[in-house]
Structure 1
Amino acid sequence: MGGVRGVSPVDPDEARRRILEELSRDEYRTGDGFVAWLLHLFDSLVARITADLPEATPVHWALLVLAAGVLALLVALVVRRTGWLRRSGALSVSAALDAAETADAAELRVRARTALDAGRHDDAVVLALRSLVRDLDERTLIEVSAGMTAREVAAGAARPFPDLHRRLEHAAAAFDTAAYSRRPVGAKPAQDAVRLVEYVAQTRPDLAEVDA
């Protein structure tokens, strides 16, 4: 299939690198900057497509669909990293895993247990994961980074606690549901998450895996 006039082929790896590099800029960490940039990107894509293909051909519609797909991918990526769609109405606690905590890991675990006992399952899971991050940070077992996800936390925690990798993955999935989904977390996932972080706090890490 021949190339479209005026559109140069782009290597997928290079395109991905450019997108991630662009999204790492500070102005895209705020809603206004990101929305303005995203609308400008979409307008540019549509303008280029319509300029090169003024008539409604199948290729024209295919490229418009592709542009819409790229837009959706970028939105999903940034929302995932920033947590803009967190269900603030359903949570009474912050879901930021990289928050500068004033509470230590032990206090966060107590708060997670209290939320669980009160039936606030979403809060319990979020507090449990935040306590895990704080615990690992206090023991210098993980490096906390801005915008880190629950799955990144689970992967980092699985190094000093390899036998718990499945339970950590399940806890990360429960966190994503509590923080991003409109579906509530059930009692069982919340209980599992709280018990997991309590167990981790009492377990000696495998430092050989951390230093490897």
Structure 2
Amino acid sequence: MSVVVFGAEKGGVGKSTLAENSAAVRAELGYRVVIADFDNQGTCSKWVSRRDEDPALSKIDVRRLAADKRSDVGAFAALIQELADTYDDVFIDVGGQDSAVFRASLAVADKIIVPLTPSPDDLDTVPDLADVVRRFDKPLDIRVVLNMTSGQPIMLRDMKKGLASYADILPLMPKTIGTRVAFKYAKVSGKGVAELSAKDGYDANAANEIKDLYLGVFGK
């Protein structure tokens, strides 16, 4: 059983999309997969709902606490324990701000993936996250993935340079993920990009990037 957290302090970095696609790969391999959706927008929940409309797709479940319970650490812990007892893999989609629930997700995580885009605003979130990780009371298997990187080589270079000083605490995954319209096509149909067909927007680059991400998380 594994618990994988996709978390980011700032919105719009693609954490829900990467959680969905990673879960889709895992489910296709035959694992029992659930997404614990703690994103206020419920993005993953909507994606799973669309996925359920196609019985040919591998099954992925989703669980979501009521709005008044999403900041309740006790409710969070009880839900994650229940899911860990039932599924092979639990993917947690959560905001990365220094909140009690975010810290609770770090405490139970086997792997933590922090998506960032090449932008000054995203880079500005790194010192606070690094401080949280440094003060945490156990070693964390955490890494940063640069997402939506297409068409901005200078900013990508500067982002990598800025992250280099945090490499000891927030290591950077070697492969980046481009800005691919295939992710939008997949989201509309409740699929992962690797599950798209040629007629509904399959993109080999997107599929290979998700494969690289998956291998970076699970190693096989």
TM-score with structure 2 setting the length: 0.30
Structure (1 or 2) with the greater helix fraction? 1
TM-score with structure 1 setting the length: 0.31
Structure (1 or 2) with the greater strand fraction? 2
